[in-house]
Amino acid sequence: MTAASPPLAGLVPVGADPDEVYAAFAAWATGRGLPPYPHQDEALVALLAGENVVLSTPTGSGKSLVAVGAHLAALAGDRVSFYSAPIKALVSEKFFELCELFGASEVGMLTGDASVNPDAPVICCTAEILANMALRDGASADYVVMDEFHYYADRERGVAWQVPLLCLPNTTFLLMSATLGDVTNIAEGLTEKTGRLPVNPSGGLKAKGHPIGATGVSMHAVTAMQLTGTAGDMQIDNASLGGIFNMGGTAVANYVSILERIK
């Protein structure tokens, strides 16, 4: 008996235009009983147009479906995409999920203690792995899905969510969390860094009274968002370094040490 092909393998040919990708993906999702909600539609259209997206909708609102669409968009463009998360268990879970959807040959995983198919066009990794890659060589990442993005404000680990935003100005980001609160500062920082105003498709849900979350993101590193250039050509002044240190946490010192060496 021949094994069934992964459902998204070959859904759209390499080189398909954004309209084809959107139509095929929407039809596939609808066929699974998951017709895209308006906020998912808005997010997918924005990603296919190369815009950054901050998806701060409630748990259970279908953020993962949008992320799958981002990976499909990258594959259709013969480009590389990353999924990053704070814990290895979540990365591993996403790895197997994407293998089922796209096929094992298309998906790889990188964590602190595992490396599976590292040259695949879709890579699942921990946030620190992505940050280190971004610092080291700018990481060949055309699309980056950052899950649990509220870690951006974590005093110990938040720098791992901030570094890719600083070092990958040409990447299309999908930033996902159910507990981001006001994302104005994040949007302004991304706009300053990339010249592209990010889309936040959660507005309609907020207007309908859905519990977006009250945690919010305290911007420990607003000054860090002012850094310019790529990892290989980054200008860092003392004020910006001070801003990074003010985030707190011992892990920050390691990243600042690297940043100083590539000035």
Which has more pLDDT, 94 or 225?
Answer: 94
Q: Please, which pLDDT band fits residue 130 given cuts at 50, 70 and 90?
A: very high
Distance CA 176, CA 174 (A): 6
The rounded mean pLDDT for the chain is 75
Distance CA 260, CA 14 (A): 40
Residue 50 has pLDDT above 80, yes or no: yes
Residue 128 has pLDDT above 80, yes or no: yes
Tell me: the pLDDT tens digits for 206-217? 333 332 222 222
Domain 25-219 CATH assignment equals 3.40.640.10: no
Span 218-244, average pLDDT: 29
* Amino acid 172: pLDDT: 93
Residue 185 has pLDDT above 90, yes or no: no
| Backbone angle region of 119, left / alpha / beta, with phi > 0 → left and psi within -120 to 50 → alpha | alpha
| Backbone angle region of 74, left / alpha / beta, with phi > 0 → left and psi within -120 to 50 → alpha | alpha
Q: Phi, psi at residue 62, to the nearest 5°? A: 95, 30
Residue 104 CA, distance from chain mean position: 21
- Specify whether the CB–CB gap between 63 and 57 falls below 8 A: yes
Closest by CA to 160, choosing from 179, 187, 139, 181, is: 139
Residue 205 has pLDDT above 80, yes or no: no
Residue 31 has pLDDT above 60, yes or no: yes
- For the entire predicted model, the pTM comes to 0.74
Tell me: the pLDDT tens digits for 10-25? 899 999 999 999 999 9
Closest by CA to 141, choosing from 120, 162, 155, 112, is: 120
* Amino acid 136: pLDDT: 84
Tell me: the pLDDT tens digits for 65-77? 999 999 999 999 9
Query: Burial level of 168, CB count in 10 A (0-12/13-18/19+)?
Result: buried
Instruction: Give the DSSP per-residue string, the chain.
Output: -PPPPPTTTTSS-TT--HHHHHHHHHHHHHHTT-PPPHHHHHHHHHHHTT--EEE-PPTTS-HHHHHHHHHHHHHHTT--EEEEESSHHHHHHHHHHHHHHH-GGGEEEE-SS-EESTTSSEEEEEHHHHHHHHHHH----SEEEESSGGGGG-TTTTHHHHHHHHH-TTSEEEEE-S-----HHHHHHHHHHHS-PPB-TTHHHHHTT----S-----TTTGGGG-BS-TTS-B--HHHHHHHHTT--HHHHHHHHHHHHT-
